[in-house]
Structure 1
Amino acid sequence: MAKNITKSILSTMTMPRFTVCLAIWLMLIPSYDIYAQQTNVNSMNRSLDPRFLNWLNSLFYLPPEGELRVRKEYRMLTDQERNNFHDSIRLLKRDTSVPPNKFDALASLHHLNTALSAHGGPNFLGWHRVYLVLFENAMREKVANVTIPYWDNTIEEGLQNPRQSTLFSPLFMGTANGQVTQGPFSFWSTPFGPLGRDVGNDRRLMNPNDISTIMSQTIIADITNPNAPDVSNIEELHNDVHVFIGQQMSRIESASYDPLFYIHHAFIDYLWEDFRTSQRMRGIDPARDYPRIVGEQTHQPLASMGLGRLLVIDGINDIFTRRIYRYERRPTCVPNSNTCGSQYLRCDWSRQRCVPLIMNSNTPTALAMTGPAVQRLPWWSRQGGITTGNTGQFVFGFN
Structure 2
Amino acid sequence: MVYNLAVVTTWFGILGLSWGLLEPIPFPVDIQNCYDYRSYNQTPSPDAAMQIQIMCYRNYQYEQMAAGNVWTGNNLTDEGVSYINSLFRRLLIEADEAEKYHRNVGRQRRQTTPRRFRQEVRSTGGFDPFARCIQRLQNETVEPPSAGRNTYQTFAAFHSGTTLSRAHGGPAFLPWHRIYLLLLETECNTPIPYWDSGLDHDMTDPTMSVLWGPQFFGNGDGDVMNGPFSDVRTILGTPIIRNYGTGNNALFTKEGLRAVLSRRRYADISEPQTSGSIYSLEGHHNGPHVWVGGHLSGLNTAPWDPVFYMHHAYCDAVWARFREQQVENGIDPENDYPRRPRRGHRPNDVINFGPYFEQVTNLEAMANRFANLVTYEPFPVCENNCNNSPHLYCDQRERVCISRSRAEALQAFGPLALGVARGQSFSIQSRTINRAMARGPLPIGQQFGRSPFTDVRNRPDNLEIAPAANQIRKASTQVRSRASRRRVRRDVSQDASFQDSHLQSVSTMERSFTNTFILDGTVDLKRWAYIPVRVFYSRSHNPQGIDPTLSGALDQANDTCQTTHSGASKVFVASNGLDYYGTYQEFAIIDNRQPVYSTTTAIGIKNPEYGEGKVLFTAHDSCGRPCRPLCLTSVGGHRKYKGCSGAFKITTSSPQMYSLTYKDALTDNLEILNVIESPADSSVPQIAFVCDNVNRWPWEY
State the TM bucket, normalised to the shorter chain.
0.7 to 0.9
Of 64, 71, 78, which residue of structure 2 is paired with 1:50?
78
Query: Is the Cα–Cα contact under 8 Å of residues 63 and 165 in structure 2 kept in the other structure?
Result: no
1:24 matched residue in structure 2: none
User: Per-residue displacement from partner, 1:183-210 (whole Å, max 9, x unpaired)?
Assistant: 0011432135421111111111111111
Using the size of structure 2 for normalisation, the TM-score is 0.45
3-state SS of 2:317 partner:
helix
Single out whichever of 304-313 and 353-362 deviates more from structure 2.
Answer: 353-362
Letter in structure 1 aligned against 2:118: R
1:328 matched residue in structure 2: 377
CA 1:220–1:394: 2 relative to 1, 3 Å: farther
Q: Where do 1:73-222 residues align within 5 Å?
A: 73-78=120-125, 81-98=126-143, 99=147, 100-140=149-189, 146-192=190-236, 193-202=238-247, 203-222=249-268
1:304 deviation in Å?
1.8
Does 1:301 pair with 2:347? yes
Single out whichever of 384-393 and 117-126 deviates more from structure 2.
Answer: 384-393
- Structure 2 distance, partners of 1:97, 1:222, is 40
3-state SS of 2:156 partner:
helix
Of 421, 437, 460, which residue of structure 2 is paired with 1:389?
460
1:311 matched residue in structure 2: 361
CA 1:326–1:128: 2 relative to 1, 3 Å: same
- Structure 2 distance, partners of 1:358, 1:244, is 18
Using the size of structure 1 for normalisation, the TM-score is 0.78
1:340 deviation in Å?
4.7
- Give 1 or 2: higher helix fraction: 1
- Structure 1 distance, partners of 2:284, 2:75, is 32
1:170 deviation in Å?
0.4
Letter in structure 2 aligned against 1:150: Y
Single out whichever of 250-259 and 99-108 deviates more from structure 2.
Answer: 99-108
3-state SS of 1:297 partner:
coil
- Unaligned 5+ segments in structure 2 are 1-61, 99-111, 426-456, 468-623, 625-701
2:393 matched residue in structure 1: 346
Single out whichever of 300-309 and 153-162 deviates more from structure 2.
Answer: 300-309
Single out whichever of 84-93 and 94-103 deviates more from structure 2.
Answer: 94-103
- Structure 1 distance, partners of 2:415, 2:360, is 42
2:338 matched residue in structure 1: 291
Between the two proteins, what is the percent identity of the paired residues?
29
1:234 matched residue in structure 2: 281
3-state SS of 2:187 partner:
helix
1:392 deviation in Å?
5.5
3-state SS of 2:339 partner:
coil
3-state SS of 2:401 partner:
strand
Query: Is the Cα–Cα contact under 8 Å of residues 271 and 282 in structure 2 kept in the other structure?
Result: yes
Q: Which has the higher contact order (CA 8 A, sep 6+)?
A: 1
1:22 matched residue in structure 2: none
- Structure 1 distance, partners of 2:414, 2:235, is 27
- Structure 1 distance, partners of 2:164, 2:250, is 23
Letter in structure 2 aligned against 1:172: F
For the pair shown, which has the larger CA radius of gyration, 1 or 2?
2
Query: Is the Cα–Cα contact under 8 Å of residues 73 and 150 in structure 1 kept in the other structure?
Result: yes
Letter in structure 1 aligned against 2:336: D
User: Per-residue displacement from partner, 1:19-50 (whole Å, max 9, x unpaired)?
Assistant: xxxxxxxxxx99949xxxxxx98xx4351x12
- Structure 2 distance, partners of 1:121, 1:91, is 34
- Structure 2 distance, partners of 1:198, 1:360, is 20
Query: Is the Cα–Cα contact under 8 Å of residues 179 and 187 in structure 1 kept in the other structure?
Result: no
1:240 deviation in Å?
1.6
Query: Is the Cα–Cα contact under 8 Å of residues 176 and 351 in structure 2 kept in the other structure?
Result: yes
- Structure 2 distance, partners of 1:46, 1:238, is 25
- Unaligned 5+ segments in structure 1 are 1-28, 34-39, 141-145, 368-375
2:692 matched residue in structure 1: none
3-state SS of 1:298 partner:
coil
Query: Is the Cα–Cα contact under 8 Å of residues 126 and 315 in structure 1 kept in the other structure?
Result: yes
- Structure 1 distance, partners of 2:415, 2:184, is 27
3-state SS of 2:394 partner:
strand
CA 1:214–1:343: 2 relative to 1, 3 Å: same
- Give 1 or 2: higher strand fraction: 2
1:365 deviation in Å?
6.0
Of 284, 287, 290, which residue of structure 2 is paired with 1:243?
290
RMSD: 3.0
CA 1:366–1:299: 2 relative to 1, 3 Å: farther
